[in-house]
Structure formats: structure tokens, C-alpha cells
Copies of this chain bind each other. A is one copy, B any other.
Amino acid sequence: MLIEVADASDPRLGDYVALRDTALRRSLESERGLFIAEGEKVIRRAVEAGHRPRSFLLAERWLPGLADLWEARPDVPVYVVTEAVAEAVTGFHVHRGALASLHRAAPARMADLLDARRLVVAEDVVDHTNVGALIRGAAGLGWDGVLLAPRAADPLYRRAIKVSMGTVFALPWARVNDWATALPALREAGFTVVAFALTPDAVPLDAYVAAGVPERLALVVGTEGDGLSQRWIDQADVVVSIPMSRGVDSLNVAAATAVACWALR
């Protein structure tokens, strides 16, 4: 259903306001149970993964590219706007000219992922870019899923989706049930829990790989700033690190995870 909207303050565009205001978006999206996808490719992946659109916000020239999606859903409003109106609503220039608001489906549960062979478990990775990149790496390198601690950033936040290139829709992910018991639960389920941390007694990654990688493995990675909590390090079966050169403290968490996913695949 095509609806031209000329007024940026039209309440029907309320799902799309102030997309760069992280705090506002977090409360708005959780209250309304929605998330925003940006760009034709990502919108398509979201819909194909089974997420139900609430509405589309499209500049006129993007109508044809997504026609199969909106024509098949006559009850879903397609707000057709100029790029100026889109910018006024969202607070930035929408390069790819196409946005969609989608219902958040009930998320997967931790239990759904426990028959996997290879899981990444992210503690408090709070940056949306890093969560998106981490999921993209795990998906691309053939891992089975990602578990997230309660305080890790939301993979369905617009920026995370974008950086992940839509892989948040392809790779199963879930929140852990409880921070304190998550790693014991994984061990109970048969995973070898490998904590990735630069502790003095950590096993270098290449030595760990050379000694033989276990059949089922959960790779545990920590926050951008402080790394893994002591509790999670203590609860792991083994601590592994990537030895660093040139006095570099560490790799970015997404890059480190990609290296580990490659080495331990």
C-alpha cells in the first residue's frame, strides 16, 4: 500500500525517527518490538529470514527494486518520501534510500543452540559495530552460532545489522540465560570452553591448535576495553591468546574472533 508522506513530523513515520540517537532508539525499539533494516539487500535478507515488515520508508526511486516484497504484502504501508523528508525524519542522509521497520520475532533461546559444534560466546561486547562484525565473521567462517551475555549490544540494532551485512539474520544467535551460570551450562552440555584472554598463563593459539582441537568448542571473547571478566576466565576449561608483536595490546575483538574462528574451525 503506497502512501506518499510529505511531512517529516507525520506520526505514521514514528518508527523511523532519530535513527542516530542510540539511547532513544533503544527504548523506542524495545517498547514497540521493532527493528530497522537499511538498504535493499539487508531488507531483503531480513524478510527472507522470516521477519515480518511493519512498514517500508522508501524514496521513489527505490520502489521498483523492492516491489516484489511490498506488492506481496498489501496490508503493509509503504511510505514514499523525498530524500529530504527521509533525512529530516531519521536525522541523517539515508545513502541507500530504503528503510524498513520489522517486527522482532521471539529470539532464539540459548537451549536452541546447545547442539552446535562451534559457538562464539561474547561477554560484554557493547559496541554495535563490533557485535555486527563478530557475527559476520563467525557466520562467514562456518561457525554454528553466537551466544551473547546480557549486556552485549543488540544484534538487531540498525548499525549492527549493517556492519554484519545482514548475517545477523543468517546465523543463529541468542542471549545466555544467566551470566553467572552460562559457562558451566555450556560445559555441562559437552562444550570445551576456551576463553580468549591475554593472561600471562594463556596458551598461545598456535600451540593450542597444534595440540588438537576438541570436537565441540565454545570460544569465549570479552569486552572491547577490559577483556573477559575474571569469573568467565576462571570458569573456562582453558585460556588461549594470540601473542602480540610491537607492544600492541590486543586486536580488536571482531578481528581477534575472526582469527580464532579461522584457526579453530
Residues of A within 8 A of B (CB): 129, 133, 136-137, 139-142, 163, 165, 167, 170-171, 205, 242, 244-252, 254-256, 258-259, 262-263
Contacts and interface: CB of A to CB of B under 8 A. Distances in A.
Contacts of A141: 242, 244-245, 251, 259
A248 B167 contact: yes
Given A246-B142, A248-B165, A263-B262, A255 B170 contact: no
A246 B146 CA distance: 14
Give the oligomeric copy count: 2
A111 to B, nearest CB: 21
A252 B137 contact: yes
Contact of A248 (B129, B136, B242): B136
A246 B136 contact: no
A251 B258 contact: yes
A143 to B, nearest CB: 8
A46 B137 CA distance: 31
25 contacts: A133-B255, A136-B252, A137-B255, A139-B245, A139-B248, A140-B242, A140-B244, A140-B250, A141-B244, A141-B245, A142-B246, A163-B252, A165-B249, A167-B246, A170-B246, A170-B247, A170-B248, A205-B262, A242-B262, A254-B254, A254-B255, A255-B255, A258-B258, A259-B259, A259-B262
A259 B254 CA distance: 11
A167 B249 CA distance: 10
Contacts of A242: 140-141, 262
Contacts of A255: 133, 136-137, 254-255, 258
